């Protein structure tokens, strides 16, 4: 493979004007080349990150195309290479590359048999995202879970100041209960949400109690032992007004729509 080699004198380096803390401007991380090694020789980055290689001494390049030791392709997700540059003491940026495809990349230094002497490196490029297939924001292309998954039942904010107890619905929409209805049907000891409800209903209490649910004609629909919270699937229930009765005889109502 033909190498393009640049020799940087101290005068040329001064003219370039790289600051010590900005040797490769725009790079998210920098990898140093010196002696017979890259440091770090194995790095992990995210898709969209820019990696810069800095030469701290000697003649080095970055070859991510054809292995200098085997003559075979690295089979990287995409090939990349940065031409060689020679320096004496003042560090110089060999170049940068922005990685847009996830996967594992291998590269070496193809100058003066450095690769044969062990000057090789690798980069693992991750694509962060939600990897839970049950989540509303599942990303089938993600290679690293970034704990961003949004699941049905999660608390959220629908942006409407006239609602409260906002949660992610079965259609992955964020909806809350109208404040006016909640205020009429609930007190500080018992909270019923969302209200009205189409599928999943949550009842929370300030203290444990047995609960019973009656339909509009007074028929017992559901009941439970002493609980501090109760989650009901009402998706198969008939539409209308229902009443929750506590062990102390308090009653609270909700609407199935």
| CA within 13 Å, CB half, 89 | 2
Among residues 167, 227, 221, which one has the least CA distance to residue 197?
A: 167
Using CB atoms within 10 A of its CB, is residue 188 exposed (0-12), middle (13-18) or buried (19+)? exposed
- The answer, as to whether pTM is greater than 0.85, is no
Cα separation, 26 vs 90, whole angstroms: 19
Q: Do 235 and 169 contact (CB within 8 A), yes or no?
A: no
Bridge partners, residue 245, by sequence: 212, 251
**SS3 (DSSP) at 152:** coil
Domains of the chain: 5-126 (2.60.40.420), 178-256 (2.60.40.3080)
State how beta strands 200-214 and 240-246 pair.
antiparallel
Q: What is the pLDDT along the chain (257 residues), one digit of tens a residue?
A: 333 333 333 333 333 333 346 799 999 999 999 999 999 999 999 999 999 999 999 999 999 999 999 999 999 999 999 999 999 889 999 999 999 999 999 999 999 999 999 999 999 999 999 999 999 999 999 999 999 999 999 999 999 888 888 999 999 999 988 875 444 444 447 899 999 999 999 999 988 899 999 998 899 999 999 999 999 999 999 999 999 999 888 899 999 99
What is the CA angle 152-146-134, rounded to 5? 30
């Amino acid at each position: 493979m033909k190498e393009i080699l640049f020799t940087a004198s101290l005068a040329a380096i001064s003219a370039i004007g790289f600051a010590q803390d900005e040797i490769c401007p725009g790079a998210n991380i920098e990898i140093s080349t010196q002696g017979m090694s890259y440091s770090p020789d194995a790095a992990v980055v995210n898709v969209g990150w820019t990696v810069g290689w800095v030469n701290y001494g000697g003649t080095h390049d970055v070859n991510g195309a054809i292995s200098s030791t085997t003559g075979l392709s690295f089979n990287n997700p995409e090939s990349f290479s940065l031409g060689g540059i020679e320096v004496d003491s003042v560090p110089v940026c060999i170049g940068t590359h922005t990685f847009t495809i996830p996967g594992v990349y291998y590269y070496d230094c193809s100058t003066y048999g450095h690769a044969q002497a062990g000057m090789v490196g690798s980069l693992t490029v991750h694509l962060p995202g939600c990897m839970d297939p049950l989540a509303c924001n599942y990303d089938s292309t993600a290679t690293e879970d970034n704990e961003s998954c949004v699941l049905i039942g999660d608390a959220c904010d629908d942006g409407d100041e006239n609602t409260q107890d906002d949660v992610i619905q079965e259609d992955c929409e964020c909806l809350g209960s109208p404040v006016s209805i909640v205020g009429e049907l609930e007190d500080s000891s018992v909270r019923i949400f969302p209200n009205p409800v189409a599928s999943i209903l949550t009842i929370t209490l300030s203290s444990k109690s047995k609960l019973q649910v009656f339909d509009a004609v007074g028929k017992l629909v559901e009941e439970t032992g002493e609980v501090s919270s109760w989650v009901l699937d009402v998706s198969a229930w008939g539409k209308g007004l229902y009443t929750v009765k506590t062990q102390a005889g308090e009653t609270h109502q909700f609407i199935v729509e």
